[in-house]
Structure 1
Amino acid sequence: MAKAITIVGLGSGDENQLTLGVLRRLTEAKTVYLRTEDHPVVPYLKEQGITCSSFDSVYEAQSSFNDVYETIAAELLRLATEEDRQVVYAVPGHPFVAERTTMLLKERCAAEEIPFEAVGGESFLDQAFARFGFDPIEGFQLLDATSLSMSVLNPRLHTVIGQVYDMYTASDAKLALMELYPDEHTVWVGHALGVAGSESMAAVPLYELDRQTGYGNLSLIYVPPTQADAVINKTFPRLHEIVRILRSPEGCPWDREQTHQSIRKNLIEETYEVLETLDDDDPDAMCEEMGDLLLQIMLHAQMEEETGSFTAYDVIAGLNEKLLRRHPHVFGSRDADNAEEALARWEEVKAEEKRQKGLQPEALSALHGVPRDLPGLMKAYKLQKKAAKVGFDWDRMEDVMAKVEEELAELKAELGESQDRQEDELGDLLFAIVNLARFLSCDPEEALARTNRKFVRRFSYVEKKLREAGKEPGDATLEEMEHYWQEAKTLPHA
């Protein structure tokens, strides 16, 4: 008899769910190899005189499900090839529904030219559709409890979660679901659906999901679809939908009228508001302001979607591809043992990207890549760093200090002269000070931001003390304000 492997499905319940084709193959087999004996149909098979051998011992010997499935597939292939015979392998439910060993055998049989056949049986999904009373054509997803995450959840679809083997798996599933759904959200737990005398179903609040009993090989979780704002407002598709509506003819008149240029300044303002929350280390404010910044990105992307140029999803795809491409030391075969090596990998990929666009990195200016509209201090800092990479830099701190003093003297010499000449010299002085900051390993933008915050704290103290004395800052003398200023400098965190 020629070697072959046939996988049959035992259905999700009792023997009444066996198809005639499956039953015929089971009765004709010399030995039926069961993935597990823990299935309601197995006692019936033995009553019919069918010889069964299970792989339950493999579950005890291996440390992970992947190792179990690999071991089972390897043993079945060995039986088929070494004994040159047909092997009948029986699995719960349907061979192609939540059955990893089927896929392993299908791939390896094809590679080794071993005939392969899978004969269907009723899956647990058939019972789920019937018992929970929904039509999957409305939108349906089947997920694995052992690898569940918020990223794969779509609350607008009927969701069935299988592989809920025990309370620990149910607990992991609960934690993943709670990232999207409220704690009180109603979910269903089903055990042995379609098995007479063993079936049970219960609707429970999500937070009690892992407090239920009876979890095993025939257990599942059903999450009905929802349009509740508290749930769908956590999803990116909902954000995209809202922004599209705002820009539509039925949306907001103000949003409809905006262009890239008209809201350009908003993008800058929202960025700085986010920076302020970072400086304040205020998580609640960060969350809100990051949302405002994201809205600006979404509005600009929506404008381009309306012209057919690109969509917000194209933006995400481009970003994901860039992150994967520029981190070969994480997602590829390259190595990076520290931050400097990681940055070097990033720069190597950027250079290659330029070549693919027809640019020659070595022919570009050393200053290429500094954004035109950066704030002045930040732009000066980046220009100097790029120039320094090719050797255009001071050698010693003393030279930098001397340059600052030189530029200060030149500014003093221009006092009282034309505004343009004074601005030129002031710009040179600021540029020299940025150089000094770089030699001190300080970010000039951050240094000035710290000083600004310090000034606000101290001046606010001056205002507070003056008001306590019954005065407004405009009514006080400079001496009075200077007194409180010096007092403010002695306070903690001043």
Structure 2
Amino acid sequence: MGNIRVVGLGAGDLEQLPYGIYKMLTEAEFVYLRTAEHPVVEDLKAIGMKFESFDDVYETEAKFEDVYRNIANFLLKKAKEGDIIYAVPGHPLVAEDAVQHLLHNKEGVPVTIVGGKSFIDDFFQAVSVDPIEGFQLLDGLTFHQDQISLGNHLIIMQVFNDFVASDVKLKLMEKYPDDHQVALVDAAGTSAETVTWCPLYEVDRLEGVHNLLSLYVPPLARDEQTRSFETTQAYMDAIVGKDVWVQSQTHESLLPYLREECEEVEEAIKKDDIDNLIEELGDIMLQVFYHASFGEREGYFSMEDILETLNKKLRRRHPHVFDGVKADTVEEIDRMWQAIKAKEKEDSDEAR
């Protein structure tokens, strides 16, 4: 059985390749490439590197996860015949799913990460940002808007074309203002680097394919993060720390307000008043924060305890969503729900 050496091709210029990697690639009998669509490949080809790429696999599979799994399976099979070299753009441990499949293979094939330069350092240099302030790196093909922390610098990579950019834009516009200034950074760290600043709503005005294009989204100031639960928590922490009315409340004294807000939600629903319903549901959330603040002051519980209890319950009571349990009708779901609740009560009684 052979060893798989995984090599990073860097950001794009031949001059950026470490000498050891350059020597390995040019002296190898054969190299497997995830993609030949990388600026350094033509230079290496011109000086004699022989290779095979997996670009055709992208054409035969509908999902990217299937592409990367198939690449890994092919390499693992080849490695049983002897040592092989697999080269990827950037650094092997940055956004390379096939490499993760290789590292966690169950066939016992040894995998060595040789190295390479990630685009991240060059990217931050291109937009003049210090990453010590905190940042997120997300995949434009798979990320969900709920993953975003609005107070961090955000890099969304693999924004290949206008179709991907349009999908990214729509997700971001659920969290950020439409005119939030962002930067399209192409070929960061190479001689072809370009940085284009534009409002968020214009990011999908791309032409052609851009294999080295990533999107930079600057953080929002706290008062601009109006669609963030963390902002609500920060505001409430400040209010609880200084507002004497809030500090004087108890669970009992807050009950009339909770009843009133629930009645106002009911009234908004009856009137089909969506704007008012949004406001009144927010007021109910406010009551939850008030109760959590009193619980925390008294040392009983915190908002984190409420969230933990809720999240565990959501996960536990929806096996048909998370665990593949079959429940296709309302009746089946209700029976399952009642059985879960009965088991919870039994466990609770035994714990007492």
TM-score of the two chains, using structure 2 as the length reference: 0.96
Are the structure 2 counterparts of residues 306 and 29 from structure 1 closer, same or farther at C-alpha, using a change threshold of 3 Å?
farther
Report if the CA contact (8 A) 1:33-1:54 is conserved: yes
Residues 85-484 of structure 1 correspond to what in structure 2 (within 5 A)? 85-108=82-105, 111-196=106-191, 198-213=192-207, 215-227=209-221, 229=223, 231-248=224-241, 251-358=242-349
Q: Distance in 2 between matches of 1:51 and 1:267?
A: 71
Q: Distance in 2 between matches of 1:212 and 1:200?
A: 13
**C-alpha deviation, 1:291, in angstroms:** 0.7
**C-alpha deviation, 1:313, in angstroms:** 2.7
Q: Distance in 2 between matches of 1:222 and 1:208?
A: 13
Are the structure 2 counterparts of residues 334 and 67 from structure 1 closer, same or farther at C-alpha, using a change threshold of 3 Å?
closer
Partner of 2:32: 33
**C-alpha deviation, 1:358, in angstroms:** 2.4
**Structure 2 residue runs without a partner (length 5+):** none
Work out whether 1:72 is the aligned partner of 2:71: yes
**C-alpha deviation, 1:136, in angstroms:** 1.4
**Structure 1 residue runs without a partner (length 5+):** 361-494
Report if the CA contact (8 A) 2:320-2:326 is conserved: yes
Report if the CA contact (8 A) 1:40-1:195 is conserved: no
**C-alpha deviation, 1:214, in angstroms:** 5.2
Amino acid at match of 1:271: C
Q: Distance in 2 between matches of 1:333 and 1:113?
A: 30
Corresponding residue SS for 2:141: helix
Q: Distance in 2 between matches of 1:90 and 1:352?
A: 52
Report if the CA contact (8 A) 1:189-1:221 is conserved: yes
Report if the CA contact (8 A) 1:191-1:215 is conserved: no
Amino acid at match of 1:200: T
Corresponding residue SS for 2:195: strand
Q: Distance in 2 between matches of 1:58 and 1:214?
A: 20
Amino acid at match of 2:127: F
Corresponding residue SS for 2:251: coil
Report if the CA contact (8 A) 1:8-1:94 is conserved: yes
Q: How well do the aligned residues superpose, as a CA RMSD in angstroms?
A: 1.5
Q: Distance in 2 between matches of 1:72 and 1:95?
A: 14
Q: Distance in 1 between matches of 2:121 and 2:25?
A: 22
Q: Deviations over 1:329-353 (max 9, x none)?
A: 2222432231111111011001111
TM-score of the two chains, using structure 1 as the length reference: 0.69
Q: Which has the higher helix share?
A: 1
**C-alpha deviation, 1:28, in angstroms:** 3.3
Q: Distance in 2 between matches of 1:352 and 1:320?
A: 18
Structure whose alpha-carbon radius of gyration is higher? 1
Q: Distance in 1 between matches of 2:164 and 2:75?
A: 28
**C-alpha deviation, 1:23, in angstroms:** 1.7
Corresponding residue SS for 1:226: coil
Identical-residue share of aligned pairs (%): 44
Amino acid at match of 1:134: V
**C-alpha deviation, 1:27, in angstroms:** 2.6
Corresponding residue SS for 1:147: coil
**C-alpha deviation, 1:326, in angstroms:** 1.1
Partner of 2:12: 13
Q: Deviations over 1:22-74 (max 9, x none)?
A: 22321332101011110010011112211111111111122221111111111
Report if the CA contact (8 A) 1:329-1:345 is conserved: no
Amino acid at match of 2:93: F
Instruction: Tell me: higher relative CO, structure 1 or 2? Use CA pairs within 8 A at least 6 residues apart.
Output: 2
Report if the CA contact (8 A) 2:72-2:102 is conserved: yes
**C-alpha deviation, 1:228, in angstroms:** 5.5
Amino acid at match of 1:225: P
Q: Distance in 2 between matches of 1:333 and 1:93?
A: 37
Report if the CA contact (8 A) 1:21-1:119 is conserved: no
Q: Distance in 2 between matches of 1:317 and 1:74?
A: 39
Are the structure 2 counterparts of residues 308 and 23 from structure 1 closer, same or farther at C-alpha, using a change threshold of 3 Å?
farther
Partner of 1:437: none
